[in-house]
Homo-oligomer: A and B are copies of this chain.
Amino acid sequence: MTIRLTDKRKQILQVLKRQHGTMSVKDIHNKLPKIDQVTIYRSLDLFVKNKLIKEVHLGKEGMLYEYQTEPHHHAICDDCRKVRHFTAPDEKIKKLLGLEDFEVEEIEVIVKGVCKK
């Protein structure tokens, strides 16, 4: 019943905090090759359940994880595949959605397009 603050968990969370952006399980494993992938999977699940990190689905590839300083959304460039992180006035968007009989807890906006650069 008790959740332990193990060294491995600290390392995994550190890696996610340092990286500003999303990481796959493999990304994390590359930075921490000593830690088994299974342990990474289990730790990430734990962090997600305890809302320390967020899961993000951005395409077919597989789940991505990120430590979020503040809630934000994602835009993906169809050309270069780069992911842009941006904040938005969620309350205003929520009003525009006009969802009746539904208690909105979280809004996730995913934008597809291309970098103008």
Contacts and interface: CB of A to CB of B under 8 A. Distances in A.
Interface residues of A, number: 34
Copies in the complex: 2
A106 B113 contact: yes
Contacts of A110: 107-110
B63 A60 contact: yes
Given A103-B114, A104-B113, A109-B107, A88 B98 contact: yes
A102 B114 contact: yes
A81 to B, nearest CB: 13
In terms of DSSP, what is the predominant structure of the interface of chain A? strand
A112 B108 contact: yes
A111 B101 contact: no
Given A105-B113, A108-B110, A112-B106, A73 B89 contact: no
Interface of A: 57, 60, 63, 73, 75, 77-78, 84, 86, 88-89, 92-93, 96-99, 101-117
